[in-house]
């Protein structure tokens, strides 16, 4: 327009260039004087629970900064531009602290990617970015469900916390009396019966016995479908964590077998926290895992898998997740069920009713075990 129509076209050109330059330079300059730190007030929480996030922003410029946002690393299915929190204005020469509540819907360690503080003020033509320093991460444990008491067979592992009335020892309650034998401690003598019979009578107590249970979880990525909280992989971990939590509350030792490695959980809080922290970091494996260790050295075992699992010999107690009832992956049509013909111990049909199906069938199997069937 300036060349062929009127010289005033050059004014329009310079105005447009000034607006574009201001839209690019202003966000860049504004963030040069801004630093941001982020930390979670708690170190652990479960899926669906809210955790407070503390954000501290320091503005070293004398002018305010507008339109800030923190994005990246807080949502599993987010795009790059999705913001976790937005801030309208940071005054000049100030140190501001903000607290917001974050609700993770899927287990993991948050933030899952390096977060960054961004701004597109004033025109949204260009986004300036700076990394955010994370002082403390958040470990999100898998959601667990309260299962009914399940009777396990009598174990052979020694434990002071689990005396058995079927085993004689020195740890539990008094179970009976017997004549004195050479080598018995004087502390075990039942003095009233000794005085009545005129010979030494000792008391017998319960012995220590603890059941060791093994839970196998198939982590092979070829065995699972879906993405996000409703995938078969996430539900397999939730089911395994629920069973493990219930069994350790009954004073059993639980071995979580992932094919490639094992995790042992006991009733101690440190052991529970350590195991759940590692469950929060679990990722699918690229190579098929085997169940060769399932049942070895344990009194009771169960496996958690899908109908796509490549196991040719499923265990006696197998919890199977039907892949067609979960959110499909792009290659779902290329995968065919392998264990579809197997009658599972417990079957979970879909993600909408997975918890209810697990609880009802677990209760039924527990009643059958109590009755000895």
> What is the chain's pLDDT, residue by residue, as a tens digit (373 residues)?
878 888 888 888 898 998 888 888 999 999 999 999 999 999 999 999 999 999 999 999 999 999 999 998 898 764 445 788 899 899 999 999 999 999 999 999 999 999 999 999 888 888 999 999 999 999 999 999 999 988 887 665 555 455 555 444 555 566 778 888 777 788 888 888 899 888 998 887 665 567 889 999 999 988 888 888 999 999 999 999 999 999 998 888 999 999 888 999 998 899 999 999 999 999 998 876 655 454 457 889 999 999 888 765 556 899 999 988 886 544 444 555 655 556 889 999 999 999 999 999 999 998 888 776 5
- Residues in Cβ contact with 372 at an 8 Å cutoff, skipping those fewer than 6 apart: none
pTM (predicted TM-score):
0.80
For residue 273 the two structure tokens come to 């926290």
Cβ proximity of 136 and 182 under 8 Å: no
Residue 68 and residue 118: Cα distance in Å, rounded?
6
Could you tell me the domains of the chain? 26-141 (2.60.40.10), 163-208 (no CATH), 212-371 (3.40.50)
Short-list 233, 235, 341, 218, CA closest to 288: 218
């Amino acid at each position: 327009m300036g060349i062929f129509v009127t010289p005033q076209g050059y004014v329009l050109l310079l105005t447009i260039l000034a607006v574009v330059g201001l839209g690019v330079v202003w966000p860049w300059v504004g963030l040069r004087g801004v630093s941001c730190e982020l930390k979670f007030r708690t170190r652990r929480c479960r899926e669906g629970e809210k955790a407070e996030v503390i954000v501290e922003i320091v503005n070293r410029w004398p002018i305010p900064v507008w339109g800030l946002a923190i994005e990246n690393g807080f949502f599993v299915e987010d795009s790059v531009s999705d913001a976790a929190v937005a801030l309208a204005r940071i005054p000049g020469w100030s140190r501001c602290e903000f607290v917001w509540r974050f609700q993770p819907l899927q287990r993991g360690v948050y933030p899952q990617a390096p977060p960054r503080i961004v701004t597109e003020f004033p025109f949204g033509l260009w986004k300036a970015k700076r990394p955010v320093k994370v002082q403390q991460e958040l470990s999100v444990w898998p959601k667990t469900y309260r299962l009914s008491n399940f009777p396990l067979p009598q174990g052979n592992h020694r434990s002071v916390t689990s005396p058995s009335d079927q085993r004689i020892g020195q740890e539990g309650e008094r179970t009976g009396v017997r004549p004195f034998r050479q080598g018995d401690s004087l502390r075990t003598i039942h003095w009233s019966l000794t005085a009545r019979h005129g010979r030494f009578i000792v008391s017998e107590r319960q012995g220590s016995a603890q059941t060791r249970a093994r839970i196998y979880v198939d982590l092979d990525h070829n065995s699972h479908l879906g993405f996000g909280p409703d995938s078969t992989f996430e539900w397999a971990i939730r089911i395994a964590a629920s069973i493990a939590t219930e069994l350790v509350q009954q004073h059993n030792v639980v071995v979580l077998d992932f094919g490639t490695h094992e995790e042992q959980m006991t009733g101690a809080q440190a052991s529970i926290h350590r195991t759940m922290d590692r469950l929060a970091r679990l990722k699918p494996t690229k190579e098929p895992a085997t169940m060769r260790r399932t049942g070895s050295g344990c009194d009771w075992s169960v496996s958690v898998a899908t109908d796509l699992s490549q196991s040719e010999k499923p265990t006696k107690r197998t919890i199977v997740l039907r892949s067609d009832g979960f959110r499909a992956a792009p290659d779902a049509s290329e995968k065919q069920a392998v264990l579809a013909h197997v009658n599972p111990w417990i079957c979970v049909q879909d993600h909408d009713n997975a918890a209810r199906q697990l609880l009802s069938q677990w209760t039924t199997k527990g009643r059958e075990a109590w009755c000895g069937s």
